[in-house]
Amino acid sequence: MVSQLGVPTLFLTLSSADLWWPCMYRHLGVSPGDHSEKELSKIMQRKLNENPRVADEYFAKRVDEYMKILGKKFNIQDFWWRFEYQHRGSPHIHAVLWIDGAPDVRTFDSQSTEQLAIFRQYYDSLVSAINPNINKPPAEHHPSRLQASEINLMINQQHAQLLNRVQRHTRCGTYCLRGRVGHQICRFNFPKDLLSDSKLEKDDKGIWTFTPKRNDYLLNDHNTFVAVSWRANTDCKIIASEYAIISYLSKYASKAEPQSSNYKQYFNDIVSSSKQKLQ
């Protein structure tokens, strides 16, 4: 696809807010108004474990329909994505998008400073790390629970509440910390430096990168429209290097998942467990 279409424009991740989306309550027969959010979370986790196919098919359908919206919104020429699942089974996709009319990153080395500035402004319209209100207190109800009729994409209050709930990297753990104990760093590089202006430049390895302007140390890079319309955690990054995306795709698309135990192993485990109980 890169050979035929050129370098894609955006890397996009769409996660599932399967504990909070109103549609999931309807599909699983849950009345959210009858429970506190803590109770609701436990009920939904149990329901999702009991009905994995409902959750999986709903998410796949939601992605299909949402991509039609993004296709028109951003004039998307083509796309590729891959499904992945968190340990508890919650799905998400990693996608790359080819946007018609986007800058050709393979020409960056020959572009003037003025032209690169125009490209940078174009990328500013696609990716943001600006929080309209870092100190906005949490909403009374999880912002992903809003009905479509309650959402106004122009209201900064709703925007800030959503970002502060689903887009900030507020807690590091074993899934992101790397290195020796006492010298661990976050593999997502949080907290990040604040920037008053975005940058389109080569890194220390000579690879072109785009860094959006930032007023929040912990905010994930995102597209504003995608964040407030998808209503769950997202990630959005500019692809500014052909080498980087080829390396990423060839490694990531061919990455093997952990192998499941085979039937014989399951059977032997059951027999062994049964003998121990009899003893």
Please report the pLDDT score of residue 161 as a whole number.
92
State the Cα–Cα distance between residues 227 and 152, nearest whole angstrom: 12
Average pLDDT of every residue of the chain: 90
Please report the pLDDT score of residue 268 as a whole number.
86
In terms of Cα–Cα distance, which of 211, 215, 246 is closest to 130?
Answer: 215
Map out the domains of the chain as residue ranges. 2-259
Label residue 266 by pLDDT band (50, 70, 90): confident
Q: Does residue 257 surpass a pLDDT of 80?
A: no
Please report the pLDDT score of residue 88 as a whole number.
66
Label residue 256 by pLDDT band (50, 70, 90): confident
Q: Kind and range of the H or E element at 199?
A: strand 199-202
State the Cα–Cα distance between residues 239 and 138, nearest whole angstrom: 33
- When pLDDT is averaged across residues 162-191 and rounded to a whole number, the result is 85
State the Cα–Cα distance between residues 269 and 235, nearest whole angstrom: 40
> Which has more confidence, 124 or 275?
124
Judge whether 133 and 188 are in contact, CB under 8 Å: no
**Percent of all residues in the chain with a pLDDT value above 90, rounded to a whole number:** 68
Judge whether 82 and 60 are in contact, CB under 8 Å: no
Q: Does residue 66 surpass a pLDDT of 90?
A: yes
Judge whether 88 and 47 are in contact, CB under 8 Å: no
Range with lowest mean pLDDT among 50-59, 178-187, 223-232: 178-187
Q: Does residue 187 surpass a pLDDT of 90?
A: no
State the Cα–Cα distance between residues 125 and 259, nearest whole angstrom: 41
Judge whether 219 and 235 are in contact, CB under 8 Å: no
Q: Does residue 272 surpass a pLDDT of 80?
A: yes
Q: pLDDT (tens digit, 9 = 90+) per residue, 136-152?
A: 887 878 999 988 888 87
